[in-house]
């Protein structure tokens, strides 16, 4: 009987994990000793950082979307269907069609989803650039019509993926308003529940003077409780009220439906996961990677990429009885666009607090360059290059 390794979710982490497993076990798959399978709910794969450009720079949505199937190694048994339930005890997943798949090892990579309904009337009141290309396009079309008034951009609740993205959106919007000559008729407010413009202080020190220089008002400690779309007002838990003409908020996120329905997550649907081995608590053969975990690191594509490698290495070690335990170091490395063609980076790990990195043109070019290599990075073939850039991302321990 072949050993079955199943990956659930064909996004940044799951696609890479399936491709790395297919490469690692190429011979065993050909000999029918191992089967690597990927099941994913969507025909399309979105390069999510591009959602910002669709929303604030008018980039064509189809340039950031590809079909998932061609991104996946041919040796992977590919199923395009929603998973309805995951049973870690029975080692079985139930698909929407009623078919079930069993496994010996599983990697869950089902991501995170914005949940605007968790705040009364946020969905109808606000636009957001975290959901889909269509939602991002709505922002672009709205901006083109918008001539004057108060725009409020911000964080409606935490956690959410890509921590820099609300700040990035504000800077890109400011760029757009300046380029189109509308800025003097528009007041721009950045709203956050945190005590400072960016949660990590070293980077907040970088961001704060830039916001000030651009005349962007910052409202901190604003924990959004509800919205009144008719009055165009936001209300905070602290009892404050803020008016707006146009509202663009990042909703609080939660784990995928299937995690909630399967009872695998905490209250918000995050899977309790060992922050180093990436094993789901209580299971030796089940791993969670990327946005879907409860690990205390930023939910970013780079995190998902680095975690995919650790989970795959641990499965390989277990199947080949190599006696090694690989550990994720908590490394994060996320670009942070600050407008005017410049970007900083959010770099840190479990051992290393986030650094203060100044924005430069070169860093923005690196961010733009990554767009081009993203699709190839999903095959794992660029890791020789990315490893140099990310530095030490995986530590290994001998188990005996």
Binding status of residue 97 toward ligand FAD by CB under 6 A:
no
Binding status of residue 52 toward ligand FAD by CB under 6 A:
yes
Contacting ligand FAD (CB under 6 A), which of 156, 302, 325, 386? 302
12 vs 364, which CB is nearer to ligand FAD? 12
Binding status of residue 199 toward ligand FAD by CB under 6 A:
no
Question: Which residue has 């990927």 as its token pair?
Answer: 38
Binding status of residue 82 toward ligand FAD by CB under 6 A:
yes
Residues 329-368 that bind ligand FAD (CB under 6 A): 334-335
106 vs 258, which CB is nearer to ligand FAD? 258
Residues 55-74 that bind ligand FAD (CB under 6 A): none
Binding status of residue 49 toward ligand FAD by CB under 6 A:
yes
Contact mark string toward ligand FAD, 8..47, x via CB under 6 A: xxxxxxx------------------------xxxx-----
Binding status of residue 206 toward ligand FAD by CB under 6 A:
no
Binding status of residue 301 toward ligand FAD by CB under 6 A:
yes
The backbone torsions φ and ψ at residue 249, rounded to the nearest 5 degrees and listed phi first, read -125, 145
Nearest to 69 by CA among 58, 57, 77: 77
Per-residue 3-state assignment (H helix, E strand, C coil) for the chain: CCEEEEEECCCHHHHHHHHHHHHHCHHHHHCCCEEEEEEECCCEEECCCHHHHHHHHCCCHHHHEEECHHHCCCCCEEEECCEEEEECCCCEEEECCCCEEECCEEEECCCEEECHHHCCCHHHHCECCCCCHHHHHHHHHHHHHCCCEEEEEEECCCCCCCCCHHHHHHHHHHHHHHHCCCHHHEEEEEECCCCCCCCCHHHHHHHHHHHHHCCCEEECCCCEEEEECCCCEEEECCCCEEECCEEEEECCEEECHHHHHCCCCCCCCCECECCCCCEECCCCCEEECHHHECCCCCCCHHHHHHHHHHHHHHHHHHHCCCCEEEEECCCEEEEEEEECCEEEEEEECCCCCCCCCCCEHHHHHHHHHHHHHHHHHCCCCCHHHHHHHHCCCEEEEECC
177 vs 311, which CB is nearer to ligand FAD? 311
12 vs 314, which CB is nearer to ligand FAD? 12
Cβ at position 46, least distance to ligand FAD in Å: 8
323 vs 341, which CB is nearer to ligand FAD? 341
Binding status of residue 222 toward ligand FAD by CB under 6 A:
no
Contacting ligand FAD (CB under 6 A), which of 130, 214, 342, 363? 130
Residue nearest to ligand FAD (CB): 11
Binding status of residue 258 toward ligand FAD by CB under 6 A:
yes
13 vs 199, which CB is nearer to ligand FAD? 13
Cβ at position 291, least distance to ligand FAD in Å: 4
Binding span for ligand FAD by CB under 6 A among 3-11, 58-66, 172-180, 262-270 = 3-11
Query: Using CB under 6 A as the criterion, which residues of the chain lie in contact with ligand FAD when the complex forms?
Result: 8-14, 39-42, 48-49, 51-52, 82-83, 109-111, 129-130, 161-162, 165, 256, 258, 290-292, 299-302, 304, 334-335
């Amino acid at each position: 009987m072949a050993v079955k390794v199943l990956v659930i979710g064909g996004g940044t982490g799951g696609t890479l994990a399936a491709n790395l497993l297919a490469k690692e076990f190429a011979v065993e798959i050909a000999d029918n000793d191992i089967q690597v399978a990927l099941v994913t709910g969507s025909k399309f794969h979105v390069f999510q950082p591009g959602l910002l450009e669709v929303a604030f720079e008018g980039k064509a949505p189809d340039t950031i979307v590809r079909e998932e199937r061609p991104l996946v190694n041919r040796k992977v048994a590919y199923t395009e269907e929603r998973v309805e339930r995951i049973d870690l005890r029975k080692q079985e997943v139930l698909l929407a069609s009623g078919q079930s798949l069993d496994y010996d090892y599983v990697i869950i990579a089902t991501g995170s989803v914005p949940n605007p309904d968790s705040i009364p009337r946020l969905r109808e009141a606000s636009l957001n650039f975290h959901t889909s290309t269509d939602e991002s396009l709505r922002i672009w079309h709205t901006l083109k019509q918008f001539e004057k008034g108060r725009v409020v951009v911000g964080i409606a609740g935490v956690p959410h993926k890509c921590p820099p993205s609300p700040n990035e959106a504000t800077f890109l919007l400011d760029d757009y308003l300046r380029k189109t000559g509308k800025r003097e008729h528009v007041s721009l407010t950045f709203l956050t529940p945190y005590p400072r413009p960016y949660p990590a202080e070293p980077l907040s020190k970088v961001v704060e003077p830039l916001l000030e220089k651009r005349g962007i008002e910052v409202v901190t400690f604003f924990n959004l409780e509800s919205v009144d779309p008719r009055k165009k007002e936001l209300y905070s838990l602290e009892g404050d009220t803020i008016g707006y003409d146009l509202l663009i908020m990042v909703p609080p996120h939660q784990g995928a439906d299937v995690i909630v329905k399967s009872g695998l997550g905490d209250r918000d649907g995050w899977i309790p996961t060992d922050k180093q081995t990436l094993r789901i608590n209580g299971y030796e053969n089940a791993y969670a990677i990327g946005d879907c975990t409860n690990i205390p690191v930023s939910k970013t594509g780079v995190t998902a990429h680095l975690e995919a490698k650790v989970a795959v290495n641990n499965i390989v070690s277990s199947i080949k009885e190599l006696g090694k335990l690989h550990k994720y170091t908590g490394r994060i490395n996320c670009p942070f666009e600050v407008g005017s063609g410049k970007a900083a980076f959010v770099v840190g790990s479990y051992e290393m607090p986030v650094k203060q990195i100044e924005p430069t043109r070169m860093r923005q070019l690196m961010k733009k360059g990554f767009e081009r290599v993203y699709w190839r990075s999903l095959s794992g073939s660029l890791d020789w290059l990315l490893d140099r850039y990310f530095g030490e991302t995986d530590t290994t321990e001998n188990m005996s």
